[in-house]
Amino acid sequence: MLLYFGLFLLTALVLFVAVMYVLIFVREKKRVRREFDPEYEKKRAEHYPPPFPNGWFSLCSSDSVKKGQVIEVDAFGEKFAVFRGEDGKVGVMDVYCPHLNANLAGAKVQGNSLVCPFHGWEFNREGKCDHIPYCDKMPQNAAARSWTFKETWGLVLVWYHAENEPPSWETDGEIPELDTYKFHTKTEDILRIHLQDFAENGADFAHFGFVHNLLTIPIANRFIDVRHTVNIDFYEGERRHTASFTDQADLVWKKSREEIPHAGGNAVVTFYGPGFLVFRFTTKIGKMLLVKTFTPLGPLKVRMNDYIYAPKGTFPLSIKYLMNEAGAQFHDDINIWERKNFAIRPMLVKGDGPIMKMRTWYSQFYSDKNNAIKGLTKPAMTAENN
């Protein structure tokens, strides 16, 4: 009797581990990376709006630049030197020394300054040169090209504006969860996309039923579908740089289309300008916060970083499961974005979602020099309710 009971327990345990393994680690849909033809990519980029919209963007995570360290970071077709002085504060400037263009990523951090490896000019954290070791007559305007930057959200942010205008919005107090949630992990990927395609995805209601309807769990997805109920709000006035997208994802039986109670989840996704998205996931198995950053490196080349947080005490396997689920859904989108072109005049019908409203909202991030394609907000055809 005891032997049977032991066998039963062992079988149950093996089954439980197998199910957890499948749920958490195995995904049927894998992202297919494709080779890129640089010549064709140039042509593809011509159909897109300019690659660098205005806004705050992440250069790197705070923990990637330690005290006394300097790193080189690419963004907006430029190269930056990011360093951390002995007082623990970061400095950001153009990577090329204004003297004879030596690379300041090879510089030494001395106190709170950066000392160029070529002739020893010293720069403070805003890029101003305040000491030349062999010359007592300081030239006027001796400074490396400087940028408006700040450190917040566990990131080093830089303000990009095509006409060098100062920041038109701030980031303070926007993610209060970061004060109490625990940081779990980060990932990085380089995508061959334009930032605007990502933003338009949230307003493209019709694609949810096609791209994101399949559960990513093998076997279970033969019986169960995901049903999305989505909505998006575009804010105005002082908060016009934000938009908020909500997705209620419910699990339904494939055959009857009946909802499986308590099995779904909710995601509230807030856009902070063109460079940041914060996903707030709420499900029965836990909460998770995903800070997603997009930094454009060049035409159709974007660095995407994910930073995962969760309330203290959240079961780690729940986080892993939510991360995998979100990641798998996202990779399905990426496979489409990396192969698509930009529809300047899309043919929209009822049910497509407020794609043109999203374009109007997004146009605030383009200015004269990085002017968006003319007529971008006018579709070829619009349905009455679109």
Within 8 A by CB and 6+ apart from 24, the residues are 317, 320, 321, 324
* Contact region with ligand FES (CB under 6 A), list: 69-77, 115-123, 234-242, 244-252: 115-123
**Measured between alpha carbons, how far is 301 from 40 in angstroms, rounded to an integer?**
13
Give dist(CA 318, CA 320) in Å, integer.
5
By CB under 6 A, how many residues form the interface with ligand FES?
8
Q: What residues between 240 and 279 interact with ligand FES by CB under 6 A?
A: none
- What residues between 347 and 386 interact with Fe ion by CB under 5 A? none
Nearer to ligand FES by C-beta: 119 or 150? 119
Selected range binding ligand FES among 73-81, 117-125, 233-241, 278-286, rule: CB under 6 A: 117-125
DSSP state of 347: B
178 counts as binding ligand FES under rule CB under 6 A? no
CB 244 within 8 A of CB 269: yes
CB nearer to ligand FES: give 145 or 378: 145
- Contact status: 100 vs ligand FES (CB under 6 A): yes
14, two tokens: 């093996």
Q: Which of 95, 97, 308, 356 binds ligand FES (CB under 6 A)?
A: 97
CB atoms within 10 A of CB 174: 15
**Smallest distance from the beta carbon of 114 to ligand FES, in angstroms?**
10
CA–CA distance, 217 with 212 (Å, rounded to integer): 13
* Torsion of Cα atoms, 42 then 35 then 215 then 249, to 10°: -20
User: What does R_g of the chain's alpha carbons equal in angstroms?
Assistant: 24
Distance in Å, CB of 107 to ligand FES, minimum: 8
Nearer to ligand FES, 116 or 277 (CB): 116
Residues 293-332 that bind ligand FES (CB under 6 A): none
Is residue 71 helix, strand or coil? Answer: strand
- Residue 208 DSSP symbol: H
Segment 307 to 346, residues that bind Fe ion, using CB under 5 A? 333
- Would you tell me which residues interact with Fe ion (CB under 5 A)? 201, 333
For ligand FES, the binding residues (CB under 6 A) are 97, 99-100, 102, 116, 118-119, 121
